Amino acid sequence: MAKIRMILPGLLLVWATAQTPPSPAKIMERVLNHPHPASTVSTITLTMKKTKGKRVKTKVRELMRYHKSYSEGVYRSKTMMRFLKPAVAKGIGLLTWNYRDGHSDQWLYLPKLKKAKKIAVSEQSKSLLGTEFSYEDLQETSLDTASLSYGGEAVLDSIPCQIVDQRMPASRQYSHRRIWVSTGNWLIKKVEYFDHQNRPVKVLDIPEHIRQDRFWFTRKMIMHNLLNGNESILEVNDIQVNTGLVDDFFSQTFLTKLD
């Protein structure tokens, strides 16, 4: 069965107008056909907002993200995230290997333990360090074309969008996702997440993108937790492209050495 890869940062699309409903598989294929760099290094600000009654408690983290894509072979991509600030979070790291068959392996490094712990599949739905992002949310997702359906047209913040619905595998924390794609510049603007009782549980808003060289990147994304009212905001401050990251960098050994 054909599979395509879906990456949350929005990518440029080319659209052919037709009288029949657009093919959701074609929409996602065009997303993926946009060029992307072999590797990136980016600095990110993570803001966590916790709501308790009328009070909102805010915490800010700074981190580096290293990413490498593979055009062939076993892996689709590898990602390393390393927290820099504040001192309480400094040195924490997350290593993710995304495989071409659709599954992912992840390791979390905590400086106090001085070792990397592999995240079990049963734990990938848990929160990453108190954020509204789960470990699973930070993985790349392979999409079986049969799992996609066309959700129609809608307007989001005055932006016309095409909607693609995706059924998730039974082992995932969500039953399905609803992906909103702008028809003006063909960037992914929003993703809605539903639990196995078909209830909406999270919304990922992607209000800002930037274009560097010939590549589109997400500038800002906001994960809203509909169950507790909390949100986590990721803002990209700087991106370096095609930095020549070597494979050995994305290893458990290197994950512990960066402390």
Across 57-80, average pLDDT: 96
pTM of the model: 0.87
To which H or E segment does residue 32 belong? Answer: helix 24-33
pLDDT at 77 > cutoff 90:
yes
pLDDT at 247 > cutoff 90:
yes
Contact 6, 141 (CB under 8 A): yes
- What is the pLDDT at residue 258? 66
Confidence of residue 9 (pLDDT cuts 50, 70, 90): very low
Return the CATH architecture of domain 22-125+135-257.
Clam (2.50)
pLDDT (tens digit, 9 = 90+) per residue, 137-187? 999 877 777 799 999 999 999 999 999 999 998 889 999 999 998 887 888
Contact 97, 75 (CB under 8 A): yes
Mean pLDDT, the chain, integer = 89
For 129, list phi and psi in degrees, rounded to 5. Answer: 50, 40
Alpha-carbon distance of 57 to 231, in angstroms, equals 11
- What is the pLDDT at residue 18? 40
pLDDT (tens digit, 9 = 90+) per residue, 178-226? 999 888 788 889 999 999 999 999 999 999 999 998 899 999 999 999 9
Q: How far is CA 29 from CA 17, 71, 143, 188, 244, in A?
A: 16, 15, 10, 13, 27
Alpha-carbon distance of 151 to 140, in angstroms, equals 22
Alpha-carbon distance of 133 to 130, in angstroms, equals 8
pLDDT (tens digit, 9 = 90+) per residue, 28-68? 877 777 788 999 999 999 999 999 888 999 999 999 999 99
Closest residue by Cα to residue 151 from 113, 103, 118, 191: 191
Residue ranges covered by each domain of the chain: 22-125+135-257
